[in-house]
Amino acid sequence: MGGKRRGAGRKPSSLTTKSRAIAEIAINEGITPLEVMLEAMRGYAKSEQWDRAASIAKDAAPYLHPKLTSVERTEKDVPIKAADFSLLSDEELEVLIQLSNKIQR
């Protein structure tokens, strides 16, 4: 007797709409949970209670500083061997320097 029934399930965007409304009310009141965390962190830091300040900073950090994603290393990432410039003549070195300067402009 399962299957799709008209009107069943959560209404589209019902939770999103409600959450957004609550967030807007908090912003209009002038204080958000993140602001409370930051103010508490600053208070503990001013009184040099570093353990408490660090604990709050750890909780607030994801909202202010996104985590970096990891990158998988591939065979293309093999380091390039350094060139042996001792094999070049003075004239060839001068040309190389001039080209390098032109590229860096």
10-29 residue pLDDT tens? 666 556 777 778 778 877 87
pTM for the whole thing? 0.44
Which phi and psi (to 5°) does residue 52 adopt?
Answer: -70, -40
Distance CA 11, CA 83 (A): 64
pLDDT in tens, 41-93: 999 999 999 999 999 999 999 888 878 777 776 766 677 677 788 888 889 88
Q: Pick the residue with more confidence: 95 or 82?
A: 95
Q: Where exactly are the structural domains of the chain? A: 15-64
Q: What's the confidence (pLDDT) of residue 2?
A: 64
